[in-house]
Amino acid sequence: MISLTQILALAVPFIFGLLIGVLIRRLIGVALVLLAIFLLAVALGYMSPSTAMSIIQSLGYTAYQAAEKLGVLKSMAPFSSATFVIGLIIGLLMK
């Protein structure tokens, strides 16, 4: 008989992986939209390439700082759990 503890031990890493997968997918989508906006603005002459590059570099630096501060959460993620990895893959692939 499967106990509640065993069910939770499987469900929690799966849900955690699912949420992280959805978050990563959405962040990649936002990054691609911003890149397209900058490319279009440069192509149409609204912004110089050097201005666009400086904005993109500052966004990258800010994202790097945010990722460093979230490093604590990285140590808490159960990467070795198969249910976490399955949830992560499903989160990345679902619409």
* Residue 3 vs residues 15, 19, 84: alpha-carbon distances, Å: 18, 25, 20
Instruction: Examine residue 26 and state whether it is found in any structural domain, yes or no.
Output: no
Instruction: Examine residue 77 and state whether it is found in any structural domain, yes or no.
Output: no
Instruction: Examine residue 61 and state whether it is found in any structural domain, yes or no.
Output: yes
Instruction: Examine residue 47 and state whether it is found in any structural domain, yes or no.
Output: yes
Instruction: Examine residue 21 and state whether it is found in any structural domain, yes or no.
Output: no
The answer to whether 17 and 88 are in contact (CB under 8 A) is: yes
How far, in Å, CA of 26 to CA of 4, rounded? 32
Instruction: Indicate if the pLDDT at residue 89 is higher than 90.
Output: yes
Instruction: Examine residue 18 and state whether it is found in any structural domain, yes or no.
Output: no
Return the pLDDT at 43: 94
Instruction: Examine residue 19 and state whether it is found in any structural domain, yes or no.
Output: no
Instruction: Examine residue 65 and state whether it is found in any structural domain, yes or no.
Output: yes
pLDDT tens readout for residues 44-82: 999 999 998 898 899 889 888 888 888 777 777 777 789
Domains in the chain: how many in total?
1
Residues 6+ apart with CB under 8 A from 93: 21
